Structure 1
């Protein structure tokens, strides 16, 4: 298959806002792809190189302005070979070898292919092929149930592999996928609840109400003495969290897959500043000055038994048995099962009094629907918060002169387009945060106007707001009210930011 066919499909996807049309264009391409081409094609149309970090950015690619090829000749296989060489070349002389690879790749590219490759290599390929759209396309291309595709993806966490399995083995191969201890699954997510009373009315009395911590999501796998830890984005952090490894290794089991959150507590048992504990997730080195405490709220596997499809009540019973006893009881997320309204309100009050965000209300009959943000889990927080993409920042004035301070905030376009700007803020920023922004933002700049920087959409920030109001100033027709920065979210990707529809929903509240 020629790269030009992938580029043409990408252009088709970008040209329509119809989810059905996007999926149809991708499905048609996947049907035409060879067995060895399905994985890279799926990765590329999802905006991923499929090779991890390549060490290639705007500065490396900008000088490559030679004459484009007149006719398409680049194949998918040739591009895979080039990207693999970029990903694996290191050591003395690697700069020259990498430059030669890029020169060969771009000299063979047409003008359209050149633009596509630059966008792909710099993470700027946003043609609207979101994960859900690609999963629909895989199901259509392989003529298999979408539920089978989504479950296999949940268990593998790898979209290209799921596509290859669907197209080569069909429904039987997809349904044969199983949870593997040591391979992370995509986490189940909670949707926003309007209020505690609203969540209880929606889900009924057969629920559990648990603390919503101001922490970071973790998934921990144990197989014998081997313990590994991943973040919500399935990035492994085992080497940086030895205290979590030691705690899980002490549990009375041989194998387990636990879901939970972790945070650092001060001497009074209250959560430390988010940036203190998130420093532990930025590198593989442990910070002995910040100890993390885990709080587990789900159990997906125990001693050879998979629990994903069991209702939450069964999983919680197994978790309670695993964490029984004084030594392990503190590892359990605080909460109450089947509370009456008064008990549920006390759980929320206790969570807030302890410095936490709120509560999560969960249906006890729900299986573990990994990777989905549905009604079965609803988070209730008294303050509206949004995870938004940082689009740019302005140079400050007065006390903030010389600092990049006023950040531009964008909500995710659910159709895969550019983030939609919904406001600006410098509220809530400490001197330390201003210094970090001023040092970090220039490295992420795609333009540098006199007033500040425009950024590649890579950073997610959590913003507290009092609500939203209609606006003719911003393209989404809505603007945030009294937005202030709570913290940056290195544990989240822009694909996990809140959508413009979530922001618009605040108009009604």
Structure 2
């Protein structure tokens, strides 16, 4: 359907589709799950109208078609975060870079931004890193592309990698001037297995087995925390290492990967940013879901 400009939200369209072509509220969850896997309301509507809800139940992740990304809520207090996570959570570095959803297949690599824009041609160096570190299977994973100092390996600010967005000319020169590293942080699909319905610890474990870390390619740094003190200490380490904060993820059995817009469901992925110089605090509370 492209970009809607009628003020009608996609969730409203799903509600309408469930009423028109399915069994109403009973089928709403199935429709949303299919939409999350395909990010294409037009395709969803066409197949629903032609084959009914049974056709939609067969929707699977397809390599090359972007999956709607999981979002995060920002919270400022370590104790509050751990309470939401039932006392134990996985804390990961939140790198100051560009979030990329990478789709790998024997035919090639396609990469999408957080807004599901195809940015494949803008980052041939990231394609090369992924080919070297992941092989030739069918894989969908997410990671952060971060600018790095070629001499020291230090992480650099996001503003540098943003200069590479939209470039069509002199790519080789830009790659040399603004080199990047890729840190994988989640696995959605691998060689026939859909990991989005599996708890986060299983996704992370599968990702660790899949990614062969090498120069400028690796996993996001992670630590399992059980106290506010541990979380605060790891937060300070992340900032010292050039990151913008931490991503805090549930390790519970229901910590599946899903795109959510209800902030009450955001407890599985909470984004804790480094303090701004203006506020001097550890972060700020912002309503509603936030991007990673």
Scaled by the length of structure 2, the TM-score of the pair is 0.83
Aligned to 1:392: none
SS at match of 1:189: coil
Matches within 5 A, 1:278-357: 278-285=162-169, 286=171, 287-288=174-175, 289-324=177-212, 327=214, 330-357=217-244
Q: CA deviation at 1:359?
A: 0.6
Aligned match of 2:272 in 359, 380, 385?
380
SS at match of 1:251: helix
Equivalent pair of 2:211/2:219 in contact (CA under 8 Å): yes
RMSD: 2.6
Unaligned runs of 5+ in 1: 1-42, 48-124, 385-463, 468-497, 503-509
Equivalent pair of 1:179/1:185 in contact (CA under 8 Å): yes
Matches within 5 A, 1:77-476: 125=5, 127-144=6-23, 145-224=27-106, 226-253=108-135, 254-266=137-149, 267-285=151-169, 286=171, 287-288=174-175, 289-324=177-212, 327=214, 330-364=217-251, 365=253, 366-370=255-259, 372=261, 374-383=266-275, 466=279
Mapped partners of 1:132, 1:383: distance in 2: 34
Q: Deviations over 1:367-396 (max 9, x none)?
A: 110354622101112437xxxxxxxxxxxx
Cα gap change, 1:225/1:205 in structure 2, threshold over 3 Å: closer, same or farther? farther
Computing the radius of gyration from Cα coordinates, the structure with the larger value is 1
Q: Which has the higher contact order (CA 8 A, sep 6+)?
A: 2
Equivalent pair of 1:241/1:292 in contact (CA under 8 Å): no
Mapped partners of 1:193, 1:170: distance in 2: 41
Cα gap change, 1:466/1:349 in structure 2, threshold over 3 Å: closer, same or farther? closer
Mapped partners of 2:270, 2:201: distance in 1: 16
Q: CA deviation at 1:225?
A: 5.5
Mapped partners of 1:283, 1:334: distance in 2: 30
Equivalent pair of 1:225/1:249 in contact (CA under 8 Å): no
Equivalent pair of 1:154/1:371 in contact (CA under 8 Å): no
User: How many residues of Structure 1 are paired with residues of Structure 2 in the alignment?
Assistant: 270
Cα gap change, 1:206/1:297 in structure 2, threshold over 3 Å: closer, same or farther? same
Scaled by the length of structure 1, the TM-score of the pair is 0.49
Mapped partners of 1:225, 1:269: distance in 2: 32
Mapped partners of 2:148, 2:189: distance in 1: 28
